[in-house]
Structure 1
Amino acid sequence: MMRVFAAVLTCAMFSGSAIAANPWEKFDEPTSGPASSIGSYANGCLVGGEALPLEGDGYQVIRTSRERYYAHPLMIDYLVELAKENKRLGNGDLLIGDMSMPRGGRFTSGHSSHQTGLDADIWLRIGDKQYSRKARENLSPYNVVDMQNYKIKAQKWTNEHAQMVQLAATDKRVARIFVHPVIKETLCKADWPEGRDWLRKVRPWFGHNYHMHVRLHCPKGDESCTPQAAPPAGDGCGKELYSWWPKPKSEQEKKKEQEQLLLAKSTTKKPAKPVYKDQLKLKPLRCQDLVTGTLQ
């Protein structure tokens, strides 16, 4: 009966116009006990997570005030090992962005994934020096894609970027790496003497023009974790990739865009504050227990 009441209470917390605050942001530390990624990447939570130390051998965590540097221990180990190997190859520090919150769950703004401690963003900006924590709060993104002409910025994209993606993807723990379609195309066109199998994991996705998003497989033996279907067979460098290219716009569509742009410029309304958007998704029961305090 108490479990039913808790579920009803959680539904009330996640529904209705009264909800604007994100309950997952109230936690400032992980739970204790064995680590478990509960639910799916875009609808779940994290038990027994760990914080990635904010500086390490070959990496620096950025924007630490957001407190999104927690993850499943599997991800912590992966990032530490990746950074060391990347450094051994003579490359600069990895700049680690969003991972997960202390107990996972949905961010108020930004990604809908990163909920189970198995996702991490690695910026394409190379850490060429040791930044202070204050400086790391305000680092500018490093966009390597010419969005207007839909091609790579040759003056920004380097072999170090390509090597970084390859190194990240060849690890067996990795399920997917999301990059902008133009970055995927650039990798597809490169010569890879040691094999191209890892390109299957590199998936095109909009918005990833200044960072790559690494996603790990569900931890072995964790039955609470919902895996994602495997990527399609092949290296993903053909027709599937080019389906992401923008289609030519008609004159009517261009005119409509111009009208909308002029209307936006003439509007003086303040932008709306971000609202927590997970109200309609019912979390797994163990995640509901985290929010209600039943599970500590």
Structure 2
Amino acid sequence: MIADLSLKDGGGYGRHKSHQSGRDADIWLQVKRKRYLDGCKNCSTTSCRPEPEEVDWRTTWRFIRALYSTGAIQEIFLSHWLQEELHKAAVAEGESPAELKKLIQWPRPKGTPALVMHSDGHIHHIHVRFKCDPTDTACSNAK
């Protein structure tokens, strides 16, 4: 489920602090039952964002790995305490220790560079920031 997208040219966007560059998307975590619950009482959507215990971490890892393999991803945000589950799934999927270090911040402290890094509030979804299009001279991957 693709949820919130940044504005095309970036800038302030509601409660989103990290949707500033025009290259950001929130994507819900994959669930074990392969379908999101209907009729959520906690949010304004027709489907309900998944709770951590509902997440299929191996499928989520395979999805993140597929995104990474495109070469188009700058970074992904996921709350640090959930990265342990993602790390376990990556190990179960056969990821090498060297790749794990490059791809998942956990078990290292918040702030350690990796593809998947901590940002508060990313519990029900991953936040994906895409790299700049090489033909867009006004874009900077530093944002």
TM-score, normalised on structure 1?
A: 0.36
Structural mapping, 1:145-294, within 5 Å? 153=53, 156-158=54-56, 159-190=58-89, 191=91, 192-195=93-96, 196=99, 197-199=102-104, 200-228=114-142
Structure number with higher helix proportion: 1
Q: 1:207 to 1:198 in 2, by over 3 A?
A: same
Q: 1:177 to 1:186 in 2, by over 3 A?
A: same
Root mean square deviation of aligned Cα = 2.7
Deviation at 1:186, TM superposition (A): 1.8
Counterpart code for 1:157: V
Where does structure 2 lack aligned partners over 5 or more consecutive residues? 39-43, 105-113
TM-score, normalised on structure 2?
A: 0.68
Give aligned-pair identity as a percent. 28
Deviation at 1:169, TM superposition (A): 2.9
Matched, 1:140 2:45: no
For each residue in 1:162-183, what CA deviation from the matched residue of structure 2 results, as whole angstroms up to 9, or x when unmatched?
3222222332110101011122
Matched residue, 1:111: 16
Q: Tell which structure's C-alpha radius of gyration is larger.
A: 1
Q: 1:102 to 1:118 in 2, by over 3 A?
A: closer
Aligned 8 A contact 1:125 1:141 in 2: no
Determine the C-alpha separation between the residues in 1 that align with 2:141 and 2:9: 19
| Regions of 4+ moved over 4 Å | none
Deviation at 1:141, TM superposition (A): 1.6
Matched residue, 2:27: 122
Determine the C-alpha separation between the residues in 1 that align with 2:16 and 2:134: 25
Aligned 8 A contact 2:11 2:21 in 1: yes
Aligned 8 A contact 1:106 1:112 in 2: yes
Deviation at 1:121, TM superposition (A): 0.5
Secondary structure at 2:4 match in 1: coil
Determine the C-alpha separation between the residues in 2 that align with 1:113 and 1:187: 21
In the alignment of these two chains, the number of paired residues is 119
Determine the C-alpha separation between the residues in 1 that align with 2:23 and 2:67: 14
Aligned 8 A contact 1:170 1:198 in 2: no
Where does structure 1 lack aligned partners over 5 or more consecutive residues? 1-94, 145-152, 230-296
Aligned 8 A contact 2:8 2:23 in 1: no
Deviation at 1:216, TM superposition (A): 1.0
Secondary structure at 1:186 match in 2: helix
